[in-house]
Amino acid sequence: MVEVRRSRRRSRTVTAYREGDTVVVLLPARMTRAEEKHWVAEMLGRLERSETRRRSPARTSDDALLARCQQLAARHLAGKTEPSSVRWVAPMRTRWASCTPADGTIRVSERLRDVPGWVLDYVLVHELVHLLVPGHGADFWALVRRYPKTERAMGYLEGLSAAAGWGITEED
Ligand SMILES: [Zn+2]
């Protein structure tokens, strides 16, 4: 979904950013409809290119995914959780990722290969915390929220699932 907002205070600059599942494009109030059409297309393209640049290095292989998990565990979870293996797997119908605490394995849906790195990081932190805490109680979220972009990433994933019609509502 794209929402165009016009501002009288803006004289020339055009800005676009994501707000949950909506892309907001800010335009100067004076722009014509033709200019608006041009700039909305232009800004959507730029936003997509910049998000592509921000994809995670972890997208390249299972080893890179494991390395990223180790960095995140050290940075946000005091190194208290350590997965034995982390793998990219074929898209799961209802989930972005899953884990097995008994053997410390994490599986991540291929659907997340192209999301921005900070979104993938949230999913990895979510699974890393599940290796320690089952379920989605207050103690679970207290640990996950040590990752500062948790809320934003959840909004991004909700929007992604809704836009693609995947019906994924839970990270599991
Ligand atoms: Zn979960």
Q: What DSSP state is assigned to residue 112?
A: G
What does the alpha-carbon distance between residue 166 and residue 65 come to, in Å, rounded to a whole number? 23
What's the CA-to-centroid distance between 127 and ligand 1, angstroms?
A: 7
**What end-to-end distance do the CA atoms of the chain give, in Å?**
26
User: CA 22: distance to chain centroid?
Assistant: 14
Q: What pLDDT does residue 50 have? A: 81
Can you give the pLDDT of all 172 residues of the chain as single tens digits? 899 999 888 777 888 888 877 889 999 988 899 999 999 989 988 888 887 778 888 888 999 999 999 999 999 999 888 899 999 999 988 899 999 999 999 999 999 998 999 999 999 999 999 999 999 999 999 999 999 999 999 999 998 898 888 888 765 6
Question: Is the overall model pTM greater than 0.85, yes or no?
Answer: no
Q: What DSSP string describes 26-66?
A: EEETT--HHHHHHHHHHHHHHHHHHHHHTB-GGGG-HHHHH
What's the CA-to-centroid distance between 49 and ligand 1, angstroms?
A: 30
Question: Quick one: CA dihedral 49, 167, 87, 150, positive or negative?
Answer: positive
Q: What pLDDT does residue 172 have? A: 60
What's the CA-to-centroid distance between 172 and ligand 1, angstroms?
A: 3
CATH number of 57-164: 3.30.2010.10
Q: What pLDDT does residue 148 have? A: 96
What's the CA-to-centroid distance between 97 and ligand 1, angstroms?
A: 9
What's the CA-to-centroid distance between 81 and ligand 1, angstroms?
A: 15
84 and 66 Cβ atoms separated by less than 8 Å: no
What's the CA-to-centroid distance between 15 and ligand 1, angstroms?
A: 34
What's the CA-to-centroid distance between 140 and ligand 1, angstroms?
A: 9
What's the CA-to-centroid distance between 159 and ligand 1, angstroms?
A: 18
Q: What pLDDT does residue 34 have? A: 92
What are the residue ranges spanned by the domains of the chain? 2-54, 57-164
What's the CA-to-centroid distance between 50 and ligand 1, angstroms?
A: 29
Query: CA separation (Å) from 36 to 4, 26, 39, 124?
Result: 9, 10, 5, 39
Q: What pLDDT does residue 13 have? A: 84
Of the candidates 155, 158, 144, the residue with the CA atom closest to the CA atom of residue 72: 144
Query: CA separation (Å) from 140 to 30, 93, 123, 126?
Result: 49, 24, 13, 9
